[in-house]
Amino acid sequence: MEDTFQTNTPSNSFSSSSWSSDESASSEPSASESSASELSKSEDRAQKLQEAKAVNSYLKFLNQSSDQKAAGKTEAKSKAKTRWSSPASLQKQLARLEEKMASADMLQRLDMAQKQLELQQRLVEAMKESEDQGEDHGLSEKERLERDFIASAQSYGTRKGISYSAWRQVNVPAAILRRAGIYRGK
């Protein structure tokens, strides 16, 4: 009987020790698993931040636009239009202005000269911005914000539990929500 007991003891201790080594291996990830997990968490966090930034930027743009409309100031509206213009649009505006300056009286030329300087400054800013954005060349600020919002809104809204009605309450157009894949009843 002692022989049987002795043969069972080593096998029990073996299975016990192998079980504990398996347990420690599964509870402590290897260095490569740990770094891969941290990288995945970091990428996920970066994705969430990028989505939040896109949504926030677009909502701010919508709010600025609605504030300007509510003010009803023609000058504010025209500045808002040109502020979000592409470099090509600004160049066309400058060309038209230069044509008008040729036939204008001196007071009109003075006003047009100031407008020309402002347009040239906006053109420089728009060209720098389009260079910084690379692939966004030719897109207005509004188009870029809409594109980024459309790419991010569905994921962001699903994660945060934001309904179609909530998006509409903060003045996001229904057409933009459709393009983002956000519909009524979802």
| Long-range contacts at 94-99 (CB < 8 A, ≥ 24 apart) | 94/119, 94/120, 94/123
Model pLDDT for residues 120-148, shown as the tens digit of each residue: 998 888 777 766 665 555 678 888 899 99
Say how far residue 33 (Cα) sits from the centre of its chain. 30
Please give the pLDDT value at position 183.
92
Please give the pLDDT value at position 160.
93
Integer Cα distance of 76 and 85 in angstroms: 14
> pTM of the prediction?
0.48
Each domain of the chain, given as residue ranges in start order, spans 69-138, 140-186
Residue 28 is classified by DSSP as S
Q: Please give the sequence-ordered ranges of beta strands (E in DSSP) within the chain, or none if there are none.
A: none
Integer Cα distance of 71 and 69 in angstroms: 5
Look at 58 and 140; give whichever has higher pLDDT.
58
Integer Cα distance of 21 and 17 in angstroms: 6
> Position of tokens 């592409």?
86
Residue 74 has pLDDT above 60, yes or no: no
Mean pLDDT, the chain, whole residue set: 76
From 46, 50, 51, select the one nearest 180 (Cα to Cα): 51
